[in-house]
Amino acid sequence: MLAAKPPLGWNSFNSYGVYLHDAAAMANARAMAAWLRPHGYEYFVIDNGWFGEYALRPGTRYAAEKHAGDVRLNEHGYFLPSRTCFPDGFEHIVRFCREHGLKFGLHLMRGIPRKACELNLPIEGTPYTARDIANFDPKENCTWCHYCHGVDMTKPGAQAWYDGLIRHVADLGVEMIKYDDIVEHPDEVEALAKAIAKTGKPILLSLSPGGAVDPAAIEFFRLGNMLRVTHDVWDEQKDIEACFAAWEKWRGHEHPGFWIDMDMLPFGQLQLMSPPGGEIGTEASTSATIALAGKGTHRWSKLTRAQMRTFITLRALAASPLMMGGDLPTLDPYSLRLITDPDMLACNQNGVMGNRIRRDGGIDIWRTPDRADAAKGWLGVFNRTAAPADFVITAAVLGLSAASRLHDVWGARPLACGETVTLEAHDALFLRIT
């Protein structure tokens, strides 16, 4: 089964926005192969903008525009690797991934490129053209990225467009697609799933974004393998809180082959292509600067170590896919330790979203049973407050039997009932039950 366990990998968005280039891609692929692949991470995903012919600031690799003014297409309107960012294409990256046990992935925007409509390019294998199937209704088109028009799935040629596009990216070597602006359009999700099936290739389908996901459309979403249920997650406490809320809302919808996705892990260096003070351009009418895609500018993750422990503990207990977002070649040892910890990965790959068993003031306790033996499993004790808190290890409070034994994952030590643990603000105690 494809995605029998929550997928593990790296995605370029947190660290490079929509401006990843060949040298940075290869550096991250090498680091991923060396440091993450031995721990089960396998999907190497290039996010949006890989087809954009960006104007660059003179003498630099930095974009001089938020979204590319031009995109590269073939004769059928399918996106091709940008000559600006990937002058040698993807072949050498795909080859490296396959030689090192990685799977190559790409981001795509829902619909058909606006440039294909402007040129009225033919829909491959049909008598129809791009304008015949495009949905020009502004309400049906993405409001934050203008590369594509939606596709009107009632029009002849619409399914053929998706069939050809997915066949094209499969021929590029793609084994995972992060499809954006798609969750509010179940008919296009269905079209994608059909197109992937027609390739006969094992292509994992990740559905985004997560801001407005309708639970009533869950059967359409199950045609994919990952469903984003949060907005973009960055290095702020409010983003961690959003993940807690998503956990409570979506618990129980996961199963092997389909996982509830809480977005990427914003650890390490972020926004490398957006230098501080590097907002671009001015609009003459407002004199306002234009921020580059992503959030903020180049920085190390602002999460404290306590917040990082909470975030990764939450993601393990909730069986959310783990897609590392920070720059891998420069990743700090503490972040690397958290994302490769064997107990954390065992809990995550167990594939069960845990239940909250107790809430006491600002302390939440969640438990995830071991899929193979419910007497075993993992516990998370979360301090949801901005002040330190003491917690007494008590069998009754934790719902444990007298025979249970506890191991403090982050403290790397056994714990016994009666002990008191001090949790920092927004910290987590992660326990393995044996």
For 406, the token pair is: 């506890």
Pairing of strands 103-109, 299-300: unpaired
What is the model's pLDDT at position 287? 38
Cβ proximity of 265 and 332 under 8 Å: no
Per 3-state DSSP, the chain is made up of helix, strand and coil in percentages (nearest 5) of 30, 25, 45
Residue 203 and residue 196 in contact, taking contact as beta carbons nearer than 8 Å: yes
pTM listed for this prediction: 0.96
Over the stretch 130-144, which tens digit does the pLDDT of each residue have?
Answer: 999 999 999 999 999
- The amino acid at residue 151 is V
* CA–CA distance, 48 with 19 (Å, rounded to integer): 8
CA distance 270 to 326: 6
Local confidence band at 1 (pLDDT 50, 70, 90 cut-offs)? confident
As a whole number of angstroms, the distance between CA 402 and CA 394 comes to 10
DSSP bridge pairs for 206:
178, 226
Secondary structure of residue 396 in the 3-state scheme: helix
**What is the C-alpha separation between 43 and 175, in angstroms, rounded?**
8
* pLDDT attached to residue 283: 41
DSSP 229-253: -SS---SSHHHHHHHHHHHHHHTT-
Neighbours of 266 (CB within 10 A): 26
DSSP state of 52: B
Whether the bond between 369 and the residue before it is cis, its omega within 30 degrees of 0, is no
Helix (H, G, I), strand (E, B) or coil at 14: helix
pLDDT at residue number 97: 98
| pLDDT computed for residue 280 by the predictor | 59
pLDDT band, residue 284 (cuts 50/70/90): very low
* C-alpha to C-alpha distance for 232 and 164, rounded to whole angstroms: 29
According to the model, what pLDDT value does residue 286 have?
41
d(CA 295, CA 235) in angstroms, rounded, equals: 10
**And the tokens for 245?**
């809320």
80 C-beta neighbours (distance < 10 Å), count: 16
Query: Which DSSP string corresponds to 85-117?
Result: T-TT-SHHHHHHHHHTT-EEEEEEESSEEHHHH
Question: Mean pLDDT across the stretch 322-337?
Answer: 98
State yes or no: pLDDT of 290 exceeds 80: no
- Asked whether residue 176 carries a pLDDT value surpassing 80, the answer given is yes
Contact 388, 376 (CB under 8 A): no
Query: Is 281's pLDDT higher than 90?
Result: no
CA atoms of 368 and 348, how far apart (whole Å): 10
Beta strand spans in 386-427 (E): 389-392, 406-408, 413-415, 420-423
pLDDT value at residue 276 = 79
**Residue 291 binned pLDDT confidence (cut-offs 50, 70, 90):** confident
Tell me 121's DSSP state. P
The pLDDT score that the predictor gives to residue 401 is 86
Report the pLDDT averaged over residues 348-361.
Answer: 96
Half-sphere exposure (Cβ direction) of 397: Cα atoms closer than 13 Å: 13
Confidence class for position 289, pLDDT limits 50, 70, 90: low
User: Residues 230-243: pLDDT tens digits?
Assistant: 999 999 999 999 99
pLDDT digits (tens, 9 = 90+) for 184-196: 999 999 999 999 9
pLDDT over 60 at 282, yes or no: no
pLDDT at 306 over 80: yes
Spatial neighbors of 74 by CB under 8 A, at least 6 apart, are 80, 168
**Average pLDDT score over residue span 287-310:** 88
Query: Mean of the pLDDT values across residues 168-194?
Result: 97
Average pLDDT, the chain: 95
User: 21-38 pLDDT, tens per residue?
Assistant: 999 999 999 999 999 999
pLDDT of residue 185: 94
pLDDT tens by residue, 375-415: 899 999 999 999 999 999 999 999 898 889 999 999 999 99
Structure-token pair, residue 286: 């407002």
Structural domains in the chain plus CATH codes: 8-353 (3.20.20.70), 356-433 (2.60.40.1180)
